[in-house]
Structure 1
Amino acid sequence: MSDITWDEPFCQDSGNCFRLGTDADGNAYIAVAGHEDIYLTDTIDALRTLIRDIKAGRADHLL
Protein backbone atom coordinates (compact mmCIF):
# COMPACT_ATOMS: atom_id res chain seq x y z
CA MET A 1 0.00 0.00 0.00
CA SER A 2 1.22 3.47 -0.84
CA ASP A 3 1.60 6.29 1.65
CA ILE A 4 -1.45 8.52 1.92
CA THR A 5 -0.97 12.28 1.76
CA TRP A 6 -3.79 13.86 3.77
CA ASP A 7 -5.13 17.37 3.10
CA GLU A 8 -6.11 19.74 5.89
CA PRO A 9 -9.47 18.84 7.54
CA PHE A 10 -12.68 20.16 6.00
CA CYS A 11 -15.23 20.98 8.70
CA GLN A 12 -18.94 21.71 8.39
CA ASP A 13 -20.75 24.14 10.71
CA SER A 14 -21.82 21.27 12.95
CA GLY A 15 -18.19 20.34 13.60
CA ASN A 16 -18.06 17.24 11.41
CA CYS A 17 -14.52 17.21 10.04
CA PHE A 18 -13.33 15.10 7.15
CA ARG A 19 -9.95 14.69 5.51
CA LEU A 20 -9.25 13.90 1.89
CA GLY A 21 -6.10 12.14 0.82
CA THR A 22 -4.36 10.75 -2.23
CA ASP A 23 -1.55 8.35 -2.98
CA ALA A 24 0.95 7.93 -5.80
CA ASP A 25 -1.11 5.08 -7.32
CA GLY A 26 -4.04 7.37 -8.23
CA ASN A 27 -6.29 6.41 -5.33
CA ALA A 28 -8.30 8.88 -3.29
CA TYR A 29 -9.27 8.56 0.38
CA ILE A 30 -11.80 10.17 2.70
CA ALA A 31 -11.80 9.80 6.49
CA VAL A 32 -13.19 11.44 9.58
CA ALA A 33 -10.50 13.77 10.95
CA GLY A 34 -8.68 12.09 13.81
CA HIS A 35 -9.53 8.61 12.53
CA GLU A 36 -7.45 8.46 9.37
CA ASP A 37 -6.73 4.77 9.99
CA ILE A 38 -10.39 4.07 9.06
CA TYR A 39 -11.09 5.38 5.55
CA LEU A 40 -12.94 4.83 2.32
CA THR A 41 -10.95 4.60 -0.86
CA ASP A 42 -11.74 4.92 -4.55
CA THR A 43 -10.24 6.52 -7.62
CA ILE A 44 -9.45 10.21 -7.67
CA ASP A 45 -12.12 10.66 -10.37
CA ALA A 46 -14.77 9.07 -8.13
CA LEU A 47 -13.85 11.32 -5.21
CA ARG A 48 -13.84 14.37 -7.50
CA THR A 49 -17.36 13.45 -8.64
CA LEU A 50 -18.51 13.07 -5.02
CA ILE A 51 -17.14 16.49 -4.11
CA ARG A 52 -18.80 18.11 -7.15
CA ASP A 53 -22.13 16.48 -6.23
CA ILE A 54 -21.86 17.71 -2.65
CA LYS A 55 -21.09 21.25 -3.83
CA ALA A 56 -24.05 21.12 -6.24
CA GLY A 57 -26.38 20.06 -3.41
CA ARG A 58 -27.05 16.59 -4.79
CA ALA A 59 -25.26 14.74 -1.98
CA ASP A 60 -25.20 17.19 0.92
CA HIS A 61 -26.84 14.61 3.21
CA LEU A 62 -23.51 12.73 3.22
CA LEU A 63 -21.88 15.49 5.25
Structure 2
Amino acid sequence: MTEIMWEDPFCGEGASCFRLGTDITGNAYIAVTGQEDTPLTDTTEALRTLIRDIKAGKADHLL
Protein backbone atom coordinates (compact mmCIF):
# COMPACT_ATOMS: atom_id res chain seq x y z
CA MET A 1 0.00 0.00 0.00
CA THR A 2 1.12 3.56 -0.67
CA GLU A 3 2.61 5.35 2.31
CA ILE A 4 0.12 7.94 3.55
CA MET A 5 1.17 10.96 5.58
CA TRP A 6 -1.73 11.42 8.05
CA GLU A 7 -2.64 14.73 9.69
CA ASP A 8 -3.76 14.96 13.31
CA PRO A 9 -7.31 13.65 13.89
CA PHE A 10 -10.26 16.03 13.55
CA CYS A 11 -12.97 15.30 16.09
CA GLY A 12 -16.36 16.97 15.95
CA GLU A 13 -18.96 17.11 18.67
CA GLY A 14 -19.88 13.46 18.15
CA ALA A 15 -17.81 10.40 18.78
CA SER A 16 -16.41 10.14 15.25
CA CYS A 17 -12.92 11.39 14.53
CA PHE A 18 -11.49 11.62 11.04
CA ARG A 19 -7.98 11.87 9.65
CA LEU A 20 -6.89 13.39 6.36
CA GLY A 21 -3.79 12.28 4.55
CA THR A 22 -1.87 12.56 1.31
CA ASP A 23 0.64 10.43 -0.54
CA ILE A 24 3.62 11.43 -2.66
CA THR A 25 1.60 11.22 -5.90
CA GLY A 26 -0.94 13.82 -4.75
CA ASN A 27 -3.82 11.52 -3.84
CA ALA A 28 -5.86 12.53 -0.81
CA TYR A 29 -7.28 10.17 1.79
CA ILE A 30 -9.86 10.38 4.55
CA ALA A 31 -10.44 7.73 7.18
CA VAL A 32 -12.11 7.22 10.52
CA THR A 33 -9.43 7.41 13.21
CA GLY A 34 -8.27 3.89 14.00
CA GLN A 35 -9.27 2.59 10.58
CA GLU A 36 -6.55 4.18 8.48
CA ASP A 37 -5.91 0.84 6.77
CA THR A 38 -9.19 1.26 4.82
CA PRO A 39 -9.32 4.93 3.76
CA LEU A 40 -11.51 6.56 1.15
CA THR A 41 -9.32 7.98 -1.59
CA ASP A 42 -9.88 10.56 -4.29
CA THR A 43 -8.20 13.64 -5.64
CA THR A 44 -7.23 16.29 -3.14
CA GLU A 45 -9.70 18.72 -4.73
CA ALA A 46 -12.61 16.26 -4.49
CA LEU A 47 -12.02 15.65 -0.79
CA ARG A 48 -11.47 19.38 -0.19
CA THR A 49 -14.86 20.08 -1.80
CA LEU A 50 -16.52 17.38 0.33
CA ILE A 51 -15.07 18.88 3.53
CA ARG A 52 -16.09 22.41 2.54
CA ASP A 53 -19.65 21.25 1.85
CA ILE A 54 -19.82 19.45 5.21
CA LYS A 55 -18.54 22.54 7.04
CA ALA A 56 -21.08 24.69 5.15
CA GLY A 57 -23.90 22.48 6.44
CA LYS A 58 -24.72 20.99 3.05
CA ALA A 59 -24.03 17.42 4.17
CA ASP A 60 -24.83 17.23 7.89
CA HIS A 61 -26.47 13.85 7.39
CA LEU A 62 -23.10 12.33 6.42
CA LEU A 63 -21.70 12.92 9.90
Pair in the same fold by TM > 0.5: yes
Tell me the CA shift for residue 26 of structure 1: 1.1
The count of residues paired between Structure 1 and Structure 2 equals 63
Q: Work out whether 1:18 is the aligned partner of 2:44.
A: no
Unaligned runs of 5+ in 1: none
2:53 paired with 1:50? no
Supply the RMSD in Å over aligned alpha carbons.
Answer: 1.1
Q: Kindly state the Cα deviation for residue 7 of structure 1 after the two structures are TM-superposed.
A: 0.6
Using structure 2 for the length normalisation, give the TM-score.
0.90
Taking the aligned partners of 1:12 and 1:61, their CA distance within structure 2 comes to 14
**What's the CA shift string for 1:9-63, capped at 9, x where partnerless?**
1111111111111111110001110110011000000011001101111112212
| Whole-angstrom CA distance in 2 between matches of 1:14 and 1:52 | 18
Tell me which amino acid in the other structure corresponds to 1:21. G
